[in-house]
């Protein structure tokens, strides 16, 4: 599968995202977000912080021996289902979970609403398609930049809808990795979870899977059919949603 290239060049992309595109490190604007492109990928930067999406970081998790221990897969699989599962990752971010699902053999559509995050994701996906270690997984991903509610329709035929709303803001900022401070500037914790969940149910998938903190509340206060529990993460499963 492919992700559409929405922009003909990096200047057009930066203009669309209302960011500065830097060609010379001597031009770095102080206190502002900007884009910087190198051979290894597209970066979002602010002063000493930089961030790019990169699927190579997930390669160790994609080994078959490691996939067998991924509780995400235990949550998403549908017992007795014939054929390839069609999954919508409605809150993709940098699509780390989507890549795990693709490595397990599912066809995955990744949706990311934030335009800057989706631009970084599309860049990572394009590079992965050319990487011999990643291409067989990246080909199972379809990247969609926009509101996932547009994809949550019965006619789309998704078997599973996966939701990973950003966790409630942590009180201890030291727990947040430095590079992800940039993401904190771009996207706040989900504030429309009830609408998101209602749209997922309206799409009539066989299952909805919601990623939550291990001791976090149910999404939109709705009790699941069952949960797959990990030490830090819990997956709430809503069957025949």
**pLDDT per residue as tens, the chain (241 positions):** 545 444 446 677 777 777 888 776 667 777 788 888 888 889 988 887 888 999 998 999 998 888 989 999 999 999 989 899 999 999 999 999 999 999 999 999 999 988 889 999 999 999 999 999 999 999 999 999 999 999 999 999 999 999 998 654 444 444 446 666 777 777 655 557 788 999 999 999 999 999 999 999 999 889 999 999 999 999 999 998 5
Residue 45 inside a domain? The answer is no
Residue 24 inside a domain? The answer is no
Q: What is the pTM of this model?
A: 0.86
Residue 26 inside a domain? The answer is no
Task: Provide the pLDDT for residue 170.
Answer: 45
Task: Provide the pLDDT for residue 226.
Answer: 97
State which residues form the domain around 156: 61-239
Residue 52 inside a domain? The answer is no
Task: Provide the pLDDT for residue 8.
Answer: 44
Residue 160 inside a domain? The answer is yes
The whole-angstrom separation of Cα 192 and Cα 189 is 9
Residue 48 inside a domain? The answer is no
**Can you say how many angstroms the Cα of residue 201 is from the centroid of all Cα atoms in its chain?**
20
Number of domains in the chain: 1
Q: Give the CATH number, domain containing residue 150.
A: 3.40.50.150
Task: Provide the pLDDT for residue 171.
Answer: 41
Task: Provide the pLDDT for residue 6.
Answer: 41
Task: Provide the pLDDT for residue 241.
Answer: 56
Task: Provide the pLDDT for residue 71.
Answer: 95
Residue 104 inside a domain? The answer is yes
Task: Provide the pLDDT for residue 190.
Answer: 55
Residue 36 inside a domain? The answer is no
Task: Provide the pLDDT for residue 169.
Answer: 46
Task: Provide the pLDDT for residue 56.
Answer: 93
């Amino acid at each position: 599968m492919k992700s559409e290239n929405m922009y003909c060049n990096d200047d057009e992309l930066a203009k669309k995202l209302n960011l500065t595109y830097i060609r010379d490190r001597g031009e770095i604007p102080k206190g502002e977000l900007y884009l910087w492109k190198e051979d290894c990928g597209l970066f979002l930067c602010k002063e000493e912080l930089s961030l790019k999406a990169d699927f190579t970081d997930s390669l160790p998790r994609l080994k078959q021996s490691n996939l067998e221990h991924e509780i995400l897969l235990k949550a998403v699989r549908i017992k007795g289902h014939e054929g390839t599962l069609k999954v919508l990752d409605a809150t993709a971010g940098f699509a780390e979970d989507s890549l795990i699902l693709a490595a397990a053999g599912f066809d995955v559509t990744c949706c990311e609403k934030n335009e800057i995050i989706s631009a970084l994701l599309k860049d990572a996906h394009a590079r992965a398609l050319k990487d011999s270690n990643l291409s067989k997984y990246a080909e199972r991903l379809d990247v969609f930049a926009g509101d996932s509610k547009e994809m949550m329709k019965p006619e789309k035929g998704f078997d599973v809808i996966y939701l990973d709303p950003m966790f409630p803001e942590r009180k201890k900022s030291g727990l947040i990795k430095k590079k992800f401070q940039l993401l904190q500037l771009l996207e706040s914790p989900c504030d429309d979870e009830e609408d998101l969940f209602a749209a997922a149910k309206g799409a009539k998938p066989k299952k909805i899977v919601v990623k939550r903190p291990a001791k976090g509340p149910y999404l939109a206060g709705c009790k699941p059919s069952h949960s797959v529990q990990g030490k830090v993460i819990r997956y709430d499963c809503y069957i025949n949603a």
